[in-house]
Each structure stands twice: as structure tokens, then as C-alpha cells.
């Protein structure tokens, strides 16, 4: 999220979480002042996630001092020990290349509160807008991961119906322009997730 109106919309739609991006090269990165404003707008039941890519410790601490953050999402090559060092719940994003490296990463980061699986694209740590082969996700992990990577209103129903993940994370797929969410796409995304969930409950 980069704009107050987008946070209000996400909250209104019942999103479980909003992401605030602290990776400067991203078109979605925000200043610390804007981050504080966005975090304060999220409702009581909306988790505020701070996204970093290979930050140094001071950078993370500066953000945590000034912005109301509930969970940290590490989207780079941070070690489990580094992720553990902030006295906050953390999500580790794993970029899926193949079964062997995914299995190794799932084991390596098993102390994360949540693991998020995203597409692998060389040179781009995330926000690629690309999907990956969901069949690579081991069955036993499917219900406990957050699925990301190229999700949008057109494929999230299939993703939720097929994998039954703990959650889904979307960035580019609900944008009108880089960094600006589309209210219509957000609404349709949430509707599709709810449809898939309703189907699960009646199955």
C-alpha cells in the first residue's frame, strides 16, 4: 500500500493484512512518514506488515521505532537468525525455483511465524507479477503457507480452491498503475477469495 485511500479500501473489504514496502528500488516503497500514516489508518483487525529486502539491522529498528508494525516480511536472502532478531513475528518469503531448493528452504526457515511462497525471477526479489508452478508445493505445507506471485482477480479463485493455503498475498494484480491500487480489482479479488472459501465450506 502506498496511499491512505488504498488502506481504507483494504480495511473496508476486510483484508487480514496490509503491506508497507521499505525496499527503496520498488515503485511501491514509501517514506517512513507515509508508512506511519498508512499503518495508523489500518483497523484494529488488520495486520500491518513491513516488507524489507536484505535490510541492515538499524534500518529495521528505525522503522519499528516510528511505524506501528505487527509483522516483518523478509523478502531477500536474510538468514533465520537475522529475521529472529527484532522481537516481532516474521514472515519469510521463499522464491520457488524447484522442489529440492524449496524443501531445503522450508526446513531452514521453519521457525518463521509464516512462510510466503513467491515466484523466482533472477534479479528481482519480488513483486514480479509472475506465478510459479504451484504443484511444486509439498502437500503437507499447502495449508500453512501464504501464496503469492502473480495473483489477481482472474486466478485467485483457482489458487484458493486448488491449494487451500493459509492466505494469499497480492501486489501488482490489484493495481491500476504501479503503486496505486484499483478499488475495482481489490473488490473483485476479495470476492473471488470469498467465493472459493464458501465452496470449501460446503464441500
Ligand X SMILES: O=C(O)c1ccccc1N[C@@H]1O[C@H](COP(=O)(O)O)[C@@H](O)[C@H]1O
Is residue 150 near ligand X by the rule CB under 6 A? Answer: yes
Is residue 173 near ligand X by the rule CB under 6 A? Answer: yes
Is residue 80 near ligand X by the rule CB under 6 A? Answer: no
Cα-Cα-Cα-Cα dihedral sign, residues 116, 119, 123, 128:
negative
DSSP string covering 114-163, please?
Answer: EEEEEE-BTTB-S-------GGGS-GGGGGGEEE-SS--TTTHHHHHHHH
- Part of the chain binding ligand X (CB under 6 A), chosen from 37-45, 62-70, 126-134, 181-189: 126-134
Is residue 148 near ligand X by the rule CB under 6 A? Answer: yes
- Part of the chain binding ligand X (CB under 6 A), chosen from 18-26, 81-89, 100-108, 136-144: 18-26
Cβ partners under 8 Å of residue 117, min gap 6: 93, 94, 96, 102, 132, 137, 145, 146, 147, 148, 149
Choice from 128, 165, 189, 193 touching ligand X (CB under 6 A): 128
Name the residues that contact ligand X, by CB under 6 A: 19, 21, 23, 26, 28, 51, 53, 75, 116, 118, 125-129, 148-151, 169-173
Amino acid at each position: 500500500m502506498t496511499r491512505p485511500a488504498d488502506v481504507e479500501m483494504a480495511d473496508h473489504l476486510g483484508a487480514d493484512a496490509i503491506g508497507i514496502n521499505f525496499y527503496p528500488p520498488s515503485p511501491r516503497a514509501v517514506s517512513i512518514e507515509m508508512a506511519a500514516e498508512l499503518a495508523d489508518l489500518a483497523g484494529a483487525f488488520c495486520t500491518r506488515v513491513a516488507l524489507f529486502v536484505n535490510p541492515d539491522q538499524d534500518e529495521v529498528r528505525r522503522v519499528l521505532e516510528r511505524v506501528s508494525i505487527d509483522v516483518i516480511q523478509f523478502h531477500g536472502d536474510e538468514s533465520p537468525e537475522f529475521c529472529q532478531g527484532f522481537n516481532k513475528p516474521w514472515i519469510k518469503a521463499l522464491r520457488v525455483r524447484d522442489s529440492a531448493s524449496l524443501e531445503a528452504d522450508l526446513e531452514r526457515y521453519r521457525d518463521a511465524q509464516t512462510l510466503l511462497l513467491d515466484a523466482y525471477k533472477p534479479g528481482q526479489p519480488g513483486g514480479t507479477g509472475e506465478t510459479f508452478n504451484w504443484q511444486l508445493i509439498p502437500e503437507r505445507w499447502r495449508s500453512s503457507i501464504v501464496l503469492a506471485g502473480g495473483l489477481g482477480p482472474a486466478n485467485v479463485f483457482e489458487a484458493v480452491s486448488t491449494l487451500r493455503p493459509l492466505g494469499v498475498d497480492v501486489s501488482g494484480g490489484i493495481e491500476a498503475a504501479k503503486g496505486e491500487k484499483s478499488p475495482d480489482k481489490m473488490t473483485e479479488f476479495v470476492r473471488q477469495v470469498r467465493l472459493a472459501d464458501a465452496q470449501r465450506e460446503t464441500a
